[in-house]
């Protein structure tokens, strides 16, 4: 194992201590066909894009669905609500932006939603007092619930996430918030969501936990001038997707 420490800072801000630890890959997420019916910009993106700093990844502007989910999530985290409070308030937007800066897309098994892997950077931000970890690689499955739903009987079943249908605004934001919960610590110094890659029940429980905390904000996504995704095919064998992280080999976050 290789340990590297360095000090990071900004000209006018306080210094953050960054510890990079090489470790075994950690897998988070299980959820995706491009939703061609949802081509309009979200109302959140339209309202906030001019006031927000540059997006942390070029995919935000290149991928309309990811862009919409990004701005919806930023709006939730940056506002005064129970969901934002769970993640530590508006300062969590900084952590979310670092997570999103690592995002890429790849075609994986249909049951996988997102995967985080590679070495991790454990960060203690002295200005915001937040402690979190960032993985080298964050992958959204282009064949999972973030982008796809079953549209015909011969296509593979794409699972739900929580109580939400795949390829919806609610699912996309829930998936991003689930992953954020795996990289942030709470006031007790533990991850907001425990690693759950080898435990499907825990993975689903983690999704339910985020949905319970953020239920009002998630349900409001389809009510703010946005177009809901039409149901093209009702799958009688609909299952729940697994959004998960593998068993972590990383040390516990510093308190």
- What is the Cα–Cα distance from 244 to 255, expressed in whole angstroms? 24
CB 214 within 8 A of CB 83: yes
pLDDT band at 225 (very low <50, low <70, confident <90, very high): very low
Model confidence over 89-131: pLDDT tens digits?
999 999 999 999 999 999 988 888 888 888 999 999 999 999 9
Q: What is the pLDDT of residue 70?
A: 97
**Helix (H), strand (E) at residue 68:** helix 64-77
Residue percentage of the chain with pLDDT more than 90 = 49
Of 77, 70, 38, residue with least CA distance to 54? 70
The two three-digit tokens of residue 23, written as one number: 């470790």
Q: What is the pLDDT of residue 112?
A: 84
Q: Is the pLDDT of residue 235 over 70?
A: no
Q: How far is CA 155 from CA 59, 148, 233, 234, in A?
A: 27, 11, 10, 12
pLDDT band at 8 (very low <50, low <70, confident <90, very high): very low
Q: Of 119-128, 139-148, 171-180, 236-245, which range is least confident?
A: 236-245
Name the packing angle between helices 169-183 and 200-213 (round to 10°).
110
Q: What is the pLDDT of residue 241?
A: 52
Q: What is the pLDDT of residue 53?
A: 59
Name the packing angle between helices 169-183 and 64-77 (round to 10°).
60
For the segment 209-219, the average pLDDT, to the nearest whole number, is 96
pTM for the full predicted model: 0.72
Of 142, 73, 78, residue with least CA distance to 113? 142
CB 147 within 8 A of CB 65: yes
CB 30 within 8 A of CB 111: yes
Model confidence over 187-212: pLDDT tens digits?
999 999 998 777 778 888 999 999 99
Q: How far is CA 207 from CA 28, 29, 114, 143, in A?
A: 12, 10, 13, 20
| Angle formed at CA 193 by CA 188 and CA 197, multiple of 5 degrees | 140
Cα-Cα end-to-end distance for the chain = 21
């Amino acid at each position: 194992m290789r340990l590297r420490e360095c000090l990071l800072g900004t000209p006018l801000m306080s210094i953050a201590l960054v510890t990079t630890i090489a470790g075994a890959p950690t897998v988070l997420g299980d959820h995706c066909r491009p939703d061609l019916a949802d081509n309009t910009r979200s109302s959140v993106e339209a309202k906030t894009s001019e006031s927000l700093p540059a997006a942390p990844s070029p995919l935000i502007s290149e991928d309309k669905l990811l862009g919409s989910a990004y701005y919806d999530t930023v709006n939730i985290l940056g506002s005064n609500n129970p969901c934002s409070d769970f993640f530590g308030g508006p300062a969590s937007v900084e952590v979310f932006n670092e997570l999103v800066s690592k995002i890429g897309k790849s075609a994986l098994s249909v049951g996988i939603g997102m995967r985080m892997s590679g070495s991790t950077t454990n960060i203690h931000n002295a200005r915001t007092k937040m402690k979190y970890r960032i993985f080298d690689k964050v992958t959204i499955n282009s064949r999972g619930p973030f982008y796809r739903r079953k549209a015909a009987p011969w296509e593979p079943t794409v699972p739900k996430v929580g109580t939400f249908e795949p390829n919806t605004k609610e699912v996309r934001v829930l998936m991003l918030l689930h992953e954020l919960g795996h990289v942030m610590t709470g006031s007790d110094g533990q991850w907001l969501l425990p690693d759950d890659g080898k435990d499907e029940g825990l993975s689903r429980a983690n999704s339910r936990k985020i949905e319970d905390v953020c239920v009002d904000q998630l349900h409001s996504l389809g009510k703010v001038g946005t177009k809901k995704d039409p149901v093209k095919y009702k799958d009688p064998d609909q299952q729940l997707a697994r959004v998960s992280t593998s068993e972590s080999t990383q040390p516990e976050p510093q308190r």
